[in-house]
Amino acid sequence: MAVLVGKPAPSFTAKAVQGENIIDEFSLDQFLGKKYVVFFFYPKDFTFVCPTELHRFQEELSEFESRNVAVVGCSTDSEFSHWAWLNTPKNKGGIQGVQYPLVADINKTISSAYDVLAGDEYVNEEGEIAVDGELVAYRGLFLIDPEGIVRHQVVNDMPLGRSIRESLRVIDALQHFEEHGEVCPMDWQKGDNGMNATHEGVSSYLGNQ
């Protein structure tokens, strides 16, 4: 698994769906110099754990927007599958009401670039292309700053849903550091004191606990 933290986020242009609209050329580059991005991968449309995450991102969308963060989802499904899922009511297993973009990575190049693609493609003894496992994305999440640099990543296996609140906590920690120059200790929450990255600063922080 590649560690992308501290590196430029892989760039791409792909089809995406937002609301009722299919976007022919969607790119995260549109946010450079303007917004942070939470770019997350999920395995499949029309499944079980995935809609719980996508709906929760929508429920918390105003929290992300208040922090100047764009939320973008991605799976290896086509734009037509995304569109159909977005137009299926929640009580029928759909994600109707989700407003942020969903990228279609049908060629699996984006999942490969972010190194979250499960399964292995190889040439068998007969010279045929074969696949071990299923070529879908793990539950990867990447926090990208306005300069296009990955500042945080986490990857879960298929059965393990992620914590959207933890994503917000990490965003708050990064923005606290950028504003105050203070690092954030374990379980830091917005409004807590940070730490100066010096011996004196750490001693002062610990003395106040």
**Residues assigned a catalytic role:** 50
What is the distance between the alpha carbons of residues 168 and 65, in angstroms, rounded to a whole number? 11
For helices 49-59 and 164-180, the axis angle rounded to 10 degrees is 40
The torsion angle over the Cα atoms of residues 7, 112, 15 and 158, rounded to 10 degrees, is: -100
Strand arrangement, sheet containing 14-18: 21-26, 14-18, 102-104, 69-75, 36-41, 139-144, 150-156
Q: Which token pair is 102? A: 């969903």
Q: Tell me which amino acid residue 198 is.
A: T
What is the distance between the alpha carbons of residues 162 and 16, in angstroms, rounded to a whole number? 23
